[in-house]
Amino acid sequence: DAKTTQPPSMDCAEGRAANLPCNHSTISGNEYVYWYRQIHSQGPQYIIHGLKNNETNEMASLIITEDRKSSTLILPHATLRDTAVYYCIVSVIGRSGGSGTSYDKVIFGPGTSLSVIP
Amino acid sequence: NAGVTQTPKFRILKIGQSMTLQCTQDMNHNYMYWYRQDPGMGLKLIYYSVGAGITDKGEVPNGYNVSRSTTEDFPLRLELAAPSQTSVYFCASSQQDLGYTFGSGTRLTVV
């Protein structure tokens, strides 16, 4: 099962900020929070990730609460092209240890379907 | 860079036929993955690989096989196609803590 909980759908007015919440109350200390989006049957697209500090890139901002049990993805000025399903994922990815390589299976939940409305 | 390239983009198979879905990446990523996505559903991990010669099962491996003889290529084999394997298949790659790069998908219909 996915380790995150997201609302199934949200609406946002074009030009306004879209704030997408994600709960991950069982997150471990070494797990990152990742966000992806999938625009209508295309391959998912990586947006942003973080461990415990807030992060910003050219696409979005990621706000992680101090206890790391929840986070919010912020699209500062939503456009119609931001209409998509947004996935929040927590995972330890690609950690190498000693003679072996550990890997945490990344599980995609159902995500949040964001509709940007003109 | 082309990123992750999947072929074919579309395919119709008859029940019992076999096929290989091709996936190649030119980013020198160690990690590669195969997901399937049924209509209106999320992605399910089929198999993954942490490097050449190393593969492991994901959530839904039954009916599929993979190999990883090179860093670049990670083909997915369907031996006896069944209608339940009708889906969109996505290949992805990543490098340690960085995000995944996905291909554009292969839409498979088994009739």
Residues A17-75 have pLDDT tens digits of 999 999 999 898 888 899 999 998 799 999 999 999 899 999 999 999 999 999 999 99
Q: Which residues on chain A are in Cβ contact (under 8 Å) with B94?
A: 93-94
8 Å CB contact of A94 and B31: yes
How many Cβ atoms from other residues are within 10 Å of residue A113's Cβ? Answer: 16
pLDDT at residue number B39: 85
Q: Evaluate if residue A97 carries a pLDDT over 70.
A: no
Is A101 a residue whose pLDDT tops 80?
no
Please, which pLDDT band fits residue A2 given cuts at 50, 70 and 90? low
Contacts with B97 from chain A: Cβ below 8 Å: 32, 49, 93-94
For a pLDDT cut of 70, what percent of chain B falls above it?
A: 98
| Mutant choice from A30, A59, A62, A93 vs B, greatest count of B C-beta within 10 A | A93
- pLDDT of residue A99 exceeding 70, the answer is no
Q: Which amino acid is at B104?
A: S
